[in-house]
């Protein structure tokens, strides 16, 4: 069973994410895209749009974007770890030790994000010429965002359940003692 001290990794990962965003090439890629959101936030609506965006940033811009994708892998991992820890900690306490397997669901957005990154790397390497990698990255982006929102909701619900159970345990003995005295 997880110990509360394991949750210290959560703020550490958040600090790592802040460092990645600050030190990585995120702002340079956003500037390079000239107001257009990166493909991981807003996929190209067609292979032609992907090709147009990638040709406008040139080979040096595509190389920078690939570097951005490498930094993004670190960001994905330092986001997946806290999600896993938060869900595992609460689910083990709410449902028992075997329920820790529920926490594996927290890795689904990370797996989808990694698949998206692979597709984007291949799309960047092809200069936008690969319809397959465009389709895969365009499908992975909204899917990972929905999966992330679903996991965030599950984490909130499980932690709320844990909180309600803890409140119930604190108030139940006091209520039982007062009714026994009457």
Using one digit for the tens of pLDDT, what is the confidence trace for 95-134? 887 776 788 889 999 999 999 999 999 999 998 889 999 9
pLDDT at 95: 85
Average pLDDT over residues 24-29: 93
Q: Is pLDDT of 182 > 80?
A: no
Q: Which residues of 68-84 are buried (b: 16+ CB within 10 A; e: fewer)?
A: bbebbeebbbbbbbbbb
Whole-prediction pTM value?
Answer: 0.83
User: 19, 78 in Cβ contact below 8 A?
Assistant: no
Q: Is pLDDT of 147 > 80?
A: yes
Question: Which of 160, 170, 155, 165 is CA-nearest to residue 7?
Answer: 155
Rounded Cα gap, residues 114 and 126, in angstroms: 18
pLDDT at 94: 86
Q: Token pair for residue 105?
A: 């669901």
């Amino acid at each position: 069973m997880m110990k509360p001290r394991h949750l210290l990794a959560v703020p550490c990962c958040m600090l790592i994410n802040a460092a990645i965003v600050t030190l990585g090439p995120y702002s340079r890629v956003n500037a390079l895209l000239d107001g257009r959101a990166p493909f991981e936030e807003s996929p190209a609506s067609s292979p032609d749009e992907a090709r147009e965006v990638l040709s406008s940033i040139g080979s040096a811009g595509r190389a920078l974007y690939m570097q951005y994708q490498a930094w993004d892998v670190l960001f994905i991992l330092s986001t997946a770890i806290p999600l896993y820890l938060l869900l595992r900690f609460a689910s083990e306490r709410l449902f028992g030790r075997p329920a820790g397997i529920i926490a594996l669901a927290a890795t689904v957005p990370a797996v989808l994000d990694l698949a998206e990154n692979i597709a984007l790397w291949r799309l960047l390497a092809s200069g936008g010429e690969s319809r397959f990698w465009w389709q895969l990255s365009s499908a992975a982006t909204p899917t990972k965002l929905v999966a992330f929102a679903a996991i965030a909701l599950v984490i909130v619900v499980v932690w709320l359940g844990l909180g309600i159970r803890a409140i119930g345990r604190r108030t139940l003995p006091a209520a039982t003692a007062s009714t026994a005295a009457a």
